[in-house]
């Protein structure tokens, strides 16, 4: 919140959308949305709207085994700001920025970078291309490959992440029916071409042209 408060001084139009349980925010431009549950249709629609509207996802976790929320944001075309911990580097890849989660300065610098529309757009496009590698189908195929088992229908198996290159083909994102479903409490973001940075997070930031979201 301190990093966002400083960004807000520089970008008065910046907004941080915070999803999930959290204390009183008390920072101008920060909007709390509370818990959003997937078993409530209205909450699912609201969550998808937050993911789609955000400039980026901001989740600099202190501990994170993987972070499926980064993949969710990526499926909507949103780059992520994540902490240098656990499996975040695998989840985010080249579709976002990794920072020291204990450094407000590093988080602020990352938000500044994604407040630049060309930068946010470039990383968001990479994130979306990468997201197709984390569909349940591809994950299952990599498990089969690791176990030395064939595809049940004889089809080629998905490559391991280290063998797949930096980006999937541009046309790989055309089939949105295989996107991961939002898991419930984390917002995501894609920001087209706005003028204000919009970020989301549980807690989140929302500058309208930045593409940022944070669970």
Give residue-wise pLDDT tens across range 79-119: 999 999 999 999 999 999 999 999 999 999 999 999 999 99
Q: How far apart are CA 130 and CA 165, in angstroms?
A: 10
What parts of the chain have a pLDDT lower than 70? 162-215
Q: Report pLDDT for 41.
A: 94
Q: How far apart are CA 54 and CA 16, in angstroms?
A: 9
Q: What sign has the CA pseudo-torsion 204, 109, 56, 134?
A: negative
Report the residue count for the chain.
Answer: 215
Angle at 124 between CA 167 and CA 56, to 5 degrees: 140
3-state DSSP call for residue 47? helix
Q: How far apart are CA 97 and CA 150, in angstroms?
A: 36
User: Considering only CA atoms, which of 162, 16, 3, 147 is closest in space to residue 89?
Assistant: 162
3-state DSSP call for residue 202? coil
Q: Report pLDDT for 26.
A: 86
Q: How far apart are CA 11 and CA 123, in angstroms?
A: 21
Query: Domains, the chain, ranges and CATH?
Result: 2-10+40-130+182-213 (3.40.50.2000)
Q: Is 49 exposed, middle or buried (0-12, 13-18, 19+ CB in 10 A)?
A: exposed
| 0.85 surpassed by pTM | no
């Amino acid at each position: 919140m301190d990093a966002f408060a400083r960004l807000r001084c520089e970008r008065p139009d910046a907004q941080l959308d915070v999803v999930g349980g959290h204390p009183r925010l008390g920072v101008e431009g920060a909007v709390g949305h509370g818990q959003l549950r997937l078993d409530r249709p209205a909450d699912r629609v609201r969550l998808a709207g937050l993911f789609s509207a955000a400039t980026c996802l901001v989740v600099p976790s202190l501990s994170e085994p993987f972070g499926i929320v980064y993949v969710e944001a990526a499926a909507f075309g949103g780059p992520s700001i994540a902490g240098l911990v656990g499996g975040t580097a695998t989840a985010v890849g080249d579709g976002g920025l990794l920072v020291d989660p204990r450094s407000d300065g590093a988080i602020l610098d990352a938000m500044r970078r994604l407040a630049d529309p060309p930068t946010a757009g470039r990383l968001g496009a990479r994130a979306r291309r990468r997201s197709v590698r984390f569909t349940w189908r591809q994950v299952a195929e990599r498990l089969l490959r690791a176990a030395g088992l064939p595809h049940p229908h004889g089809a080629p198996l998905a490559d391991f992440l280290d063998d797949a290159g930096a980006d999937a083909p541009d046309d790989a994102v055309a089939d949105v029916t295989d996107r991961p479903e939002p898991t419930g409490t984390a917002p995501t973001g894609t920001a087209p071409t706005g003028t204000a940075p919009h970020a989301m997070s549980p807690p989140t930031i929302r500058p309208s042209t930045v593409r940022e979201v944070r669970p």
